[in-house]
Amino acid sequence: MPSDNTDITMSLDTDEIALILSGVKILQDLDFDVVRNIAEHTKIETFTEGELVVEAGQMGTRIYFIFEGQVEVQIPGIKGDKNSILLRKGEVIGEISLLINSTYSADIIALEDTIAFYLDQEHFKLMIEQHPAFANVMSNLMTNRMAQNGGINKVGKYELKGKLGEGNMATVFNAWDPELEREVAMKMLKYKLAYDDKFLDRFEQEAKTIASLNHPNIVHVMEVIDDFSTRFIVMEKLHGLDLSETLKEKGAFSLEDTRDILSQVASALQYAHNHGEHGIVHRDIKPSNIVIDPYGNIKLTDFGIAGPPQDKEVNIEGTPSYLAPEVINGDSLDGRADIYALGVMAFHMLTNSLPFSASTLAKLLKMQVQQKPPDIRNACPDIDEKFAEFIDSALSKEPDDRISDWVQIRNTLKPLAGEYHLTLDPNELAVTIRFRDTSYQQSASFINAMQKQLQEEGINHEIEMHRGNDEDE
């Protein structure tokens, strides 16, 4: 078995070890202070020629950084043979097994006398918790193993097909549900969150509530899977562009199109805010979280940081340009923070610019808390007074001054929401289905199924939802 090499350890100080670790491929882009902190927790081991560095089937408890020498990774083949990979100075051993708390999948043997630094399980977890940049390195390593030949190709019952995209909080994969024979999207939380006990405590509490949301304009979350030392959120796969992409491609929206999209977002938020005992606040309303299908129907996505109203926020969460002043100040928040973001989005869609912009984050946040927003009438002269007043009110600094009545909001964003009049073009066919004594939640599964069938048939369509007598959902 390998043994600690005390002589080498004593001959190198922390800065020298940090310089060596800076040459390791996966650590090269980290700040030196982060690498130095990692160096403070490393130990050194030596292996003689022919000695096992790790043994297949044993639990992964260390991540090794090769300092000198070379090793051979003996990967079992399908026919009982073994494929070999050589690793030399600057390479890493055992990172995935340690990261996902699993056994080693291959024997690794020293081909010559080899020296390696290592982090044990306790200090590895500590470094991920303390350094988000190091956690991102580990997330990238894991992402590279997902949906790759010879990598991790299955999570729960779902078969991974490839990577769809990546954000600050998660990586999204295309996956296949073999039981229901359908594509789904699978979002993997990055390790900076998966190793954050405080975040996970809240996430576990809210996951079931978020999965219970059932509305035609909210992406449907099917389940949450705890695997590979992180969480996977399984949801319906959407087809279309997000609103931020459309803004970049086409520029500002017309008043009519802005109303149409915002009224659907408002319908989703109204439902979420009134869902369950306390309601669900999204907290990250922005164009990139709005997906528009080819027929103009929208889905509100990314309830990853969503939750019930809270008394005090220690950390600012969400996208800076869309944050309500109370969120920036760390005050109590409720659904009115989403309404503020809805006002920002209205301004953004009509002008293709944000109400506030600055060269630094600190200046931007200060402007949002203290500075009066520009008058939308100057940037959009054709706007009607009712819509302009909604944006003015939504962008109020004080939540109590902000418009918050959903009936009023819905009527402003879609004037026909209260009294439904149908006007058809010569090439249009309309089918009216009236639901009586039911709710959005009860009718959503039918509407979603109908919409999916129309999409599969390639039928150009638009689904509008109206509630009689302006009742609050």
Query: What does the pLDDT read at residue 440?
Result: 64
Query: What does the pLDDT read at residue 11?
Result: 72
Q: Which domains does the chain have, with CATH numbers?
A: 3-121 (2.60.120.10), 146-236 (3.30.200.20), 241-416 (1.10.510.10)
Query: What does the pLDDT read at residue 309?
Result: 47
How many Cβ atoms are within 10 Å of 409's Cβ, its own excluded? 23
Phi-psi region of 209 (alpha: psi -120 to 50; beta: other; left: phi over 0): alpha
| Active-site residue, from 260, 284, 302, 338 | 284
Query: What does the pLDDT read at residue 453?
Result: 81
Catalytic site includes residue 284: yes
Query: What does the pLDDT read at residue 242?
Result: 92
Q: What mean pLDDT comes out for the span 241-268?
A: 93
Query: What does the pLDDT read at residue 427?
Result: 63
Weakest mean pLDDT among 29-33, 88-92, 236-240, 301-305: 301-305
Q: What mean pLDDT comes out for the span 124-148?
A: 86
Weakest mean pLDDT among 23-27, 295-299, 304-308, 405-409: 304-308
What percentage of the chain has pLDDT greater than the value 90?
49
Cα dihedral across residues 259, 264, 269, 271: positive or negative = positive
Query: What does the pLDDT read at residue 425?
Result: 57
**What does the pLDDT look like over 41-74, one tens digit per residue?**
999 999 999 999 999 899 989 999 999 999 999 8
Query: What does the pLDDT read at residue 204?
Result: 73
CA 22 from centroid of its chain's CA atoms: 30
**What does the pLDDT look like over 154-205, one tens digit per residue?**
899 999 998 888 877 788 999 999 999 999 999 888 888 888 887 787 777 6
**What does the pLDDT look like over 82-130, one tens digit per residue?**
678 899 999 999 988 888 888 888 899 999 999 999 999 999 999 998 9
Q: What mean pLDDT comes out for the span 429-440?
A: 68
**What does the pLDDT look like over 335-394, one tens digit per residue?**
999 999 999 999 999 999 999 999 999 999 999 999 999 999 999 999 999 999 999 999
Query: What does the pLDDT read at residue 221?
Result: 87
Confidence check: pLDDT of 423 > 80: no
Query: What does the pLDDT read at residue 6?
Result: 45
Tokens of 170: 């998660």
**What does the pLDDT look like over 205-228, one tens digit per residue?**
667 777 888 899 999 888 889 888
Distance of alpha carbon 268 from alpha carbon 300, whole angstroms: 7
Query: What does the pLDDT read at residue 198?
Result: 78
Confidence check: pLDDT of 403 > 50: yes
| Residue scoring higher pLDDT (137 or 347) | 347
Q: What mean pLDDT comes out for the span 290-311?
A: 74
Phi and psi at residue 83, to the nearest 5°: -100, 145
Confidence check: pLDDT of 441 > 70: no
* Top-ranked range on mean pLDDT: pick from 9-23, 179-193, 314-328: 179-193
Query: What does the pLDDT read at residue 470?
Result: 46
Query: What does the pLDDT read at residue 80?
Result: 60
What percentage of the chain has pLDDT greater than the value 70?
85
Per-residue confidence band for 142, with pLDDT thresholds at 50, 70 and 90: confident
